[in-house]
Structure 1
Amino acid sequence: MTSDADRSNDEVADLVGKLVAPGETDGAERRRLLGRLSGALAESARKARASGAGRGRWLADVFMNIAPRLPVRDYATLQEHHYGLTGEQLADDLVRTAGKATMAVGAVGGALAAAEFAAPPLLLSAPAQIVAETLVVAAIEVKLLAELHEVYGVKVPGNGSQRATAFALAWSKQRGVTPLAPGSATLALGTAAKTALRNRLMRTLGRHLTTLGPFLTGAVAGGALNRAATRKLAEAVRADLRHQRALPPA
């Protein structure tokens, strides 16, 4: 039997999937989905009785429920969706697209938080909105990281869940996956790995607290910081992948 907590987590994963799926989502739809996600996360946190240090553990658990469901595309699909680009040009386009996506999420989140800042009673909903923004940005970046592995021909072994874990942990370290490393094919989310993931998510959440500025300052700061962080991640991951394997032929 599916529990209420499971249903809440499934709804969260479904909404994040819609927000990171390929294709253009206009601002109004993005705001609507982020609003729904904020509500679903608030309900999930309430059911998990998440508070204090436990909130970080809850956040990591929620994200690991999302990671295996991210719509990661294979190399052929990436080429199809990016006008036949290959190699470094395809990687560049993926990074540009992901940067635009995280910037858009930060801008929408900042605008929502700014509106709440101007209306004190609604400020109570801001933390859930920031958690929603954090999870969506993390999901976009993990998806980008996974797809860059496709572009560079670095195959990560294991089933879908194992690969999702490997990519999520690589994101927490801001590095590429090393498939030949011991245990990479049977990677488990041990205590140290959970701590690294939780810490990265909490640092990302802390960055998004800048969206609590009044008027448009939150939107500008949120968008710019997200795009810069996504580009920095991509540079580090691409450097790792270039060392592991040459690009597939154009």
Structure 2
Amino acid sequence: MTGSTPPWKRRFRDREAAGGPSSDGVRDDERGREASLEATSEGAFGALGPKAGSPVTRSRAAAVREGVRKGGSRARAGLAFLADRIVENAPRVPVRDLQTLRRQFPGLGPEELADKLVAGACRATGAVGAGVGAAAMLPAPPAMPAELAAEITGVAAIEFKLIAELHEVYGLRAPGTLAQRSSVYLTAWTQERGVDVRKPSTIDTALGGRMKRELRRQIMKRMVRNLPNLMPFLVGAAVGAVMNRRDTRRLADRVRADLRAMQVPWDRLTGLPRLEQPADPLDLDEPRGELGA
């Protein structure tokens, strides 16, 4: 046995010469960080769905595009309906004239009176947002599209009333009939600016033949711009109320800045007639005092 190789060493050399435990080399070649995934990507992963460009993929993409197109059409139709509702509601919003406001808030000057109106409007729009947000937090919330539509039209009516009464406070009442003044103040609401009633061109633009179509377009643009802020049911009642109050105050600040620059003192408003009131006034469900008649 001297000089001969022990049998266990001979077996070890035989395995090394044969390429390891597996003669096909697959196990060692595919082990570790350098393992290839080509077979898996071509096989198991590829079996999960159709290849790109296949008829099934193309039909699914077409279905998605059609769904997006139909969804966009429905959204535009819904916004157009809401815009028409806002236009129709505007002449029904009860607006207090300057005499009524001064009687309800005796001893206040223009700025103090405007502050009162803004505070009341912010509380009212905040209450609308809180109500919708609270309804959405229920285990089975009501129909959200209907709730959102009610909020949009409700906030629009409250802010429209605020803008009209701010024009009264600053001595800048729009001329014309109830319907004509409503169109002018709706334009101010959509543009978030005060109306310069001293310029006839400003009034003529608001009362032109294409007024309703243009107002509808402007209202839709504003609703799209403010839609994230008009969806408190996504964030709950408290946050929804804060968002609505913030947006109403921002609108009021912009309108008041314009009106201050054009303000007419009260002592120069002699012989100002009383405002015509709507035959079928809209019930804004507002608290008496700041916003109630």
TM-score, structure 1 normalization: 0.71
CA distance in 1 between counterparts of 2:149 and 2:78 reads 10
Aligned twin of 2:161: 143
Could you tell me how far 1:203 is from its partner in structure 2?
A: 3.2
CA contact (8 A) 1:99 1:227 kept: yes
Q: Distance in 2 between matches of 1:104 and 1:81?
A: 23
Query: Distance between the aligned counterparts of 1:135 and 1:194, measured in 2?
Result: 13
Quote the residue 1:184 is aligned against: 203
Residues 131 and 205 in structure 1, CA contact (< 8 A), matched pair in contact too: no
Map of 1:195 onto structure 2: 217
Separation in structure 1 between the aligned mates of residue 131 and residue 118 of structure 2, nearest angstrom:
20
Q: Give the letter for the 1:211 counterpart.
A: F
Percent identity among equivalent residues?
41
Over residues 176-213 of structure 1, what are the superposed CA-to-partner deviations in whole Å (9 max), with x where a residue is unaligned?
Answer: 11221415056132544321111113333432223233
- By how many angstroms is 1:107 displaced? 1.0
Counterpart of 1:201 in 2: which secondary structure?
helix
Q: Which has the higher helix share?
A: 1
Structure-to-structure mapping, 1:215-226, within 5 angstroms: 218-226=236-244
Question: Structure 2: how far apart are the matches of 1:82 and 1:205?
Answer: 34
Residue 90 to residue 249, structure 1, CA distance change in 2 (3 Å): farther
Is 1:72 the counterpart of 2:82 in the alignment? no
Task: Map 1:18-33 to 2 at 5 A.
Answer: none
Report deviation, 1:168.
0.9
Q: Distance in 2 between matches of 1:80 and 1:211?
A: 39
Asked whether 1:157 is paired with 2:175, we answer yes
3-state SS of 1:182 partner: helix
Structure 1 pair 171–64 and aligned structure 2 pair: CA distance change class (3 A): same
The answer to whether the Cα contact below 8 Å between 1:174 and 1:237 also exists between their aligned partners in 2 is yes
- Residue type matched to 1:148 in 2? L
The number of residue pairs the alignment matches comes to 192
For the pair 1:237 / 2:255, whether they are aligned, the reply is yes
The Cα offsets for residues 40-65 of structure 1, whole Å up to 9 and x where unpaired, read as: xxxxxxxxxx9331111111111111
Q: Is 2:152 the partner of 1:134?
A: yes
1:174 is aligned, of 192, 199, 205, to 192
SS in 2 for 1:72: coil
Structure 1 SS opposite 2:266: coil
Distance in 2, Cα, partners of 1:190 & 1:69 = 16
* Conserved 8 A contact 1:109-1:133: yes
Name which one, 1 or 2, has greater alpha-carbon Rg.
Answer: 2
Unpaired stretches in structure 2, ≥5 consecutive residues? 1-72, 269-293
